[in-house]
Amino acid sequence: MTNNGKRVAWVTGGGSGIGESAAEFLAADGWTVVVSGRRKPELDRVVAKIAGKGGKAEAIVLDVSNRDDVNKAAETIVARHGRIDLLVNSAGINLPKRSWEDFDLDGWDKVVDINLNGVLYCMHAVLPTMRKQKDGCIINVASWAGRHVSKMTGPAYTTTKHAVLALTQSFNMDECVNGLRACCFSPGEVATPILKLRPVPPSEAEQAKMLQPEDCGRTIAFVASLPPRVCINEILISPTHNRGFIATPKSND
């Protein structure tokens, strides 16, 4: 997975949370990292932080739900670097109004557009380059809710994350013959900014017991470091103190 030692990673949702941490760990491992996301100031902050540690990073402002812009981003990366070795699909959202009682169809469409369509658009955009290379790795960030239906995350989020798992498995079935591989990375609760969108955000004490972004970033970098003969099809990871296994106050449902 080298081109004179150069490895190029594209990390969506790279301006915060899991994506930001993945970008940092990949850069520390010597990857040239392209982070994308909707907020330029956050992307610039991540690029500066990586550069300050001696890493190589750049940013592309992008809304993954826009198919044309996704294709342009992939084309830009290939034009600049000649290759894309790794795609980390970390862009994702959820909404405060997420239960059957209060979610609306506009909210449903927004979650599906980013959490599912955006993942597919990015995978499809890198596919020609990876096929040409006969090498490439994709890591799709799903969720514990992609394996276990959760009332807490709501129908839209849960459905899209289940779909990402199926999408990842389907990719491996078809593209393994081309030397390509994908991993569905499904973390339980992670202390990231998305928690602020919950109807009842977890307390600081609760968040301290959750997975931290660096736990996820380190794991993603590990998967990316493995030789091309290895496909980690799925990772299901959770906090040791897994609130899904423990009775929680009704206010956190």
Confirm whether 2 is domain-assigned.
no
User: Predicted confidence band at 234 (pLDDT cuts at 50, 70, 90)?
Assistant: very high
Report helix, strand or coil for 102: coil
Confirm whether 104 is domain-assigned.
yes
Are 235 and 144 within 8 A, CB to CB?
Answer: no
Quick check: 244 pLDDT over 90?
no
User: What is the residue range of 25's domain?
Assistant: 8-252
Confirm whether 3 is domain-assigned.
no
Mean predicted lDDT score pLDDT of the chain:
94
The per-residue pLDDT for range 21-72, each reduced to its tens digit, is 999 999 999 999 999 999 999 999 999 999 999 999 999 999 999 999 999 9
Could you give the percent of the chain with pLDDT greater than 90? Answer: 87
The per-residue pLDDT for range 38-49, each reduced to its tens digit, is 999 999 999 999
Looking at residue 253, what is its pLDDT?
37
238 Cβ neighbours under 8 A, 6+ residues apart: 144, 187, 188, 189, 211, 244
* Domain CATH number, residue 53: 3.40.50.720
Check the CA dihedral 185-177-74-163 and report its sign: negative
Residue 157 annotated to the active site:
yes
Looking at residue 193, what is its pLDDT?
82
Per the residue annotation, which of 10, 25, 144, 157 is the catalytic one?
Answer: 157
What does the block give as tokens for 249?
Answer: 């106050």
Confirm whether 29 is domain-assigned.
yes
Structural domain count of the chain:
1
